[in-house]
Amino acid sequence: MSLREREPCAGAKVRIEAFSFFYPGGHAALRDVTLAIACNSILGIVGPSSSGKSTLLRCLNRMSDFAHGTSHDGRILLDGEDIHGSQVEPPDLRRRIGMVFDTPVPLPRSIYDNIAYGPRLHGVRERSRLDELVESSLRAAILWDEVKDRLGSSALRLSGGQQQRLCIARTIALDPEVILLDEPCSGLDPISTLKIEEALSELKERFTIVLVTNNTKQAARVSDEVAYFLMGELVEHGPAQQIFTVPRDRRTDDYISGRFG
Amino acid sequence: MKRLMHPDLAQRVIKALLILVTAFTLSILIFIITYLLLKGLPVFSREFFTGHAIDMGRAGGIFPFIVSTVFLTGVALAIATPLGVGTAIYLTEYTRESRLTRVIRFAAECLAGVPSIILGLFGFVTFVLYLHLGWSIISGGLTMAIMVLPTIIRTSEEAILAVPHAQREVSYSLGGTRWQTVIHVVLPGALPGILTGIMLSIGRCIGETAAVIFTAGSSLMPPTTVLDSGRTLAVHFYILAREGISTEMAFGTAAVLMISILTINVTAYGLMHRMMRRFS
Amino acid sequence: MNTKRRGERAVELSLTLIAVSSVAILFIITFFIFKEGLPFILEVGPGKMLFALDWAPTKGKFGLLPMIVGSLLATGGALLIGVPLGLSCAIFLVEFSKPRVRRVLKPAIELLAGIPSVVYGFLGVVFLVPLIRTHLGGPGLSLLAGALILGVMILPTVISISIDALEAVPRSYREGSLALGATTAQTVTHVVIPAARSGIVTAVILGMGRAIGETMAVIMVTGNALDLPGSPLAPIRTLTSNIALELGYAAGNHQKALFATGVILFVMIMILNLAATATSRRRAR
């Protein structure tokens, strides 16, 4: 009902090819990153602060366009298409690649209107359709039972953890293909964190998920693949199991084991 | 350093002086309001508010002037609001700080500093004469629109900048375009501040004389179209006072002016404070 | 998808046009005033206009000196009254009063700004002028009356900008001074005011701009005489009054002369605005 027909995902959903990103003045925030993100999987991106993790995320849905004076090298492909291609409209791209930020940002309106905001932006008007979308998104974010009786109340009244799940639901309502999460659990209590991690595990069946996290334990719990970034460089990536037990690179080992970062 | 008196004593003296001065300043305000109300309120009557002016304003009512004032203010704001809010949106959402934005802001600030009589002069020559609009509500409205434009730009800009950036990011990340984000996130959030600016401008339009008298004229009849001349309350008050026509009616008109402007300004500031509390 | 893009472009273009319109308006106003006034100044001769004493436009005499002097004296007087009063209020509100008091008083003072100038003028005529006439002599309609009224009118401007300037001084400055044993008054005099100096200068300059541009109240209380004032009790006429009094019936050269008056006024105020922007930019640094 809410899922639109889309082509089955094959191989890599997102390919990052020799991608570099430069701030005005030439300093490289990301250097020569090559990475493939598999369909319906969770990629955990870890690394100390200022390693370029959030920058990479913002490049994936071209939120980086809003930073003036920046430039990039290399390509990022979504289903084989260059996201910087001349035919690509960033708003359309962002509909396919959704984002959840590190602090929950509910819009100052009702829970219902928060979720319906995205679909309404793209022309969905029928009440019944919106009702469907709101319910299915809230269920997918594991928030429905907690708010189903007060969809009309202000989203600002929810707790931090609930607000973040609201933000996830808001992103899901657009039925994206990829969901980017930038340290979504920072500042949340352990219960909320657990609920979100639980939601993510279920969501990967529908979406491809990229999760940036400062918490290596969380990455270990949730991710299928893990990528370790250090100072703008992709040091190592591989199955979570492997990265956290027998990392190939010395630097990865230092970070994982807490000797560094 | 020579000491004329002990610092603590000096402080107490200074503090006392300052309190005196502040009390004096406030008493001026209180005096103005009380005196006008005292002399003006007795003039209020049904006839006063609904009747037409009789005998050049010596008797009768101020109804036509209320109509002119409302009409002129409406025209002025209908023109200035889209221009002002549009400029504010452009400066905040569509450009970065650049020479162009600085020039626009400087122009707006200069415009704010132009004396009302110069605007009256300009309005008279441009709208009344050059464009053949004659003394009319539209001439006055255009002139007043120019006068309040800087206020609307400034307050709208502040209000728009106060909307948290994160909310814009949410809208963009959901695939919203810039304009969609402005309409659905920024403007609703900035609305209280924008309304404050509009209300302050309304207060300005009601109280303005120099720019209005030379553009909207001083007809005693209520205007029916924008091309009709109309005498606003402030102009009527000025004429009554200067020509010495009727002190009683003058006080009544002054009281109406004061009450409406004060009410509007108080509401405007109330709105502004409520908005500030919301974000802190 | 193309229509969305085109729609966005159209919006951006319209907004650009709207934004540039405020610049355009200022430009048009300046252009018009100068176009009508400047040639006339040049025709009559700037020396003759700025320094001659006779203003009789129907007889070909365009001396603006009395009005220029009138404007300067009225403004100067307004500043003499408004700045000390205003600054004192601002200092009291920021340095010596409790926040609760300030929260009530500051908006109350800002309300003073909303009172129309004609009301000030009227009250001036009803109270101030007779008072001056009875107790000090002269016709009452005078430079003194004008300066007093203008002084009160610029109070809200001077006070609120001075308050901003004083509040902008970092708390650490005050704390440093107090920690050394100074009283609040000493701190204010020796530390805060010097630090807030350029903001206070801005307040004064903006107050000056308001005073020099004021018309209605001045017309009502200054007597509008065409001679140079011999004392503060003598009547004066300002540049603004000059325009307002005669615009209604001026034609031909007379009208051009009024534009010339406008040009001079305009130039004086533009200079003040630039000075205010320059000082406040220095404050930011």
Work out whether strand A81-82 and strand A97-100 pair parallel, antiparallel, or are unpaired: unpaired
In this complex, the chains that touch B, judged by 3 or more CB pairs closer than 8 A, are A, C
**CB-side exposure of B229: number of CA atoms within 13 Å?**
18
pLDDT of residue A149 exceeding 70, the answer is: yes
How far apart are the CA of B55 and the nearest CA of chain C, in angstroms? 21
Distance from C-alpha of C153 to C-alpha of C113, rounded to nearest angstrom: 7
- Any residues with CB less than 8 A from the CB of C97 and at least 6 apart, and which? C105
Closest Cα partner for C209 from C142, C276, C257, C147?
Answer: C276
B176 vs A contacts (CB less than 8 Å): 91, 121
> Which whole number is the average pLDDT over B256-266?
90
pLDDT in tens, B77-118: 999 999 999 999 999 988 888 888 888 888 888 888 889 999
Q: Contact at 8 Å (CB) between A226 and A241? A: no
C213 vs B contacts (CB less than 8 Å): 113-118
Model ipTM value: 0.91
Minimum Cα–Cα distance from B239: chain C residue: C118
pLDDT in tens, A13-61: 899 999 999 998 888 999 999 999 999 999 999 999 888 899 999 999 9
Neighbouring CB atoms inside 10 A of A68's CB total 7
Distance from C-alpha of A7 to C-alpha of A162, rounded to nearest angstrom: 32
How far apart are the CA of C237 and the nearest CA of chain B, in angstroms? 15
- Any residues with CB less than 8 A from the CB of C132 and at least 6 apart, and which? C138, C140, C142, C144, C145, C233
pLDDT of residue A201 exceeding 70, the answer is: yes
- Place A2 in a pLDDT band, splitting at 50, 70 and 90: very low
E strand or H helix at C249: none
Distance from C-alpha of A87 to C-alpha of A199, rounded to nearest angstrom: 34
Instruction: Look at residue A28 and give its three-state secondary structure.
Output: strand
Listed in order, strand segments (DSSP E) in B55-165 are 59-60
Query: Is A86 at the interface with chain C, CB within 8 A?
Result: no
E strand or H helix at A209: strand A208-212
Q: Contact at 8 Å (CB) between B139 and B215? A: yes
> Which whole number is the average pLDDT over B140-160?
94
Q: Contact at 8 Å (CB) between B107 and B100? A: no
Q: What is the per-residue pLDDT for A100?
A: 95
The alpha carbon torsion through B83, B85, B91, B95 (nearest 10 deg) reads -90
Distance from C-alpha of B158 to C-alpha of B147, rounded to nearest angstrom: 19
DSSP annotation of B222 reads P
Query: Is A179 at the interface with chain B, CB within 8 A?
Result: no
In chain C, which stretches have pLDDT less than 50?
A: none
* Contact between chains at A121 and B169 (C-beta distance less than 8 A): no
pLDDT of residue B178 exceeding 80, the answer is: yes
Higher per-residue pLDDT: B181 or C62? B181
How far apart are the CA of A255 and the nearest CA of chain B, in angstroms? 31
* Contact between chains at A101 and B167 (C-beta distance less than 8 A): no
CB contacts < 8 Å between A and B, how many?
Answer: 57
What is each CA distance from C150 to A141, B234, C73, C211, C235, in whole angstroms? 65, 19, 11, 6, 15
Q: What is the per-residue pLDDT for A135?
A: 94
Q: Is C226 left (phi over 0), alpha (psi -120 to 50) or beta?
A: alpha
pLDDT of residue A7 exceeding 80, the answer is: no
What is each CA distance from A67 to A76, B96, B170, B186, in whole angstroms? 18, 11, 16, 19
Q: What is the per-residue pLDDT for A4?
A: 47
Distance from C-alpha of C37 to C-alpha of C266, rounded to nearest angstrom: 11
B229 backbone dihedrals φ, ψ, rounded to 5°: -75, 155
A215-253 residues labelled b (16+ CB within 10 A) or e (exposed): ebebbbbbbbbbbbbbebbbbbbbebeebbeebeeebbb
Instruction: Look at residue A3 and give its three-state secondary structure.
Output: coil
Best C2, C3, C4, C6 member to test A by mutation, with max A CBs in 10 Å, is C4
Nearest CB neighbour to A63, from listed B167, B173, B188: B173
Q: What is the per-residue pLDDT for C65?
A: 86
Query: Is A249 at the interface with chain C, CB within 8 A?
Result: no
How far apart are the CA of B52 and the nearest CA of chain C, in angstroms? 22
How far apart are the CA of C6 and the nearest CA of chain A, in angstroms? 12
Residue showing tokens 């009301």: C119
Query: Is A98 at the interface with chain B, CB within 8 A?
Result: yes
B114 vs C contacts (CB less than 8 Å): 26, 29, 213, 266, 269
User: In chain B, which among 86-115 make CB contacts under 8 A with chain A?
Assistant: 96
Best A65, A86, A89, A122 member to test C by mutation, with max C CBs in 10 Å, is A89
Neighbouring CB atoms inside 10 A of A125's CB total 9
User: In chain B, which among 1-60 make CB contacts under 8 A with chain A?
Assistant: none
Amino acid (1-letter code) at residue B151:
T
Minimum Cα–Cα distance from A99: chain B residue: B173
Q: What is the per-residue pLDDT for C36?
A: 85
E strand or H helix at B278: helix B247-279
Mean pLDDT, all residues of chain B: 88
pLDDT in tens, A49-105: 888 899 999 999 999 999 888 999 999 999 888 999 888 999 999 999 999 999 999
Best A61, A115, A121, A182 member to test B by mutation, with max B CBs in 10 Å, is A121
Distance from C-alpha of B103 to C-alpha of B107, rounded to nearest angstrom: 6
∠ CA A4-A6-A10 to the nearest 5 degrees? 150
pLDDT of residue B162 exceeding 50, the answer is: yes
Q: What is the per-residue pLDDT for A1?
A: 28
Query: Is A92 at the interface with chain C, CB within 8 A?
Result: yes
Best B34, B121, B158, B179 member to test C by mutation, with max C CBs in 10 Å, is B121
Query: Chain-centre distance of CA A61, in angstroms?
Result: 9
Q: Contact at 8 Å (CB) between A234 and A51? A: no
Tell me the two tokens of residue C43. Answer: 């025709």
Neighbouring CB atoms inside 10 A of A117's CB total 20
Distance from C-alpha of C106 to C-alpha of C160, rounded to nearest angstrom: 8
Q: Contact at 8 Å (CB) between B236 and B253? A: yes
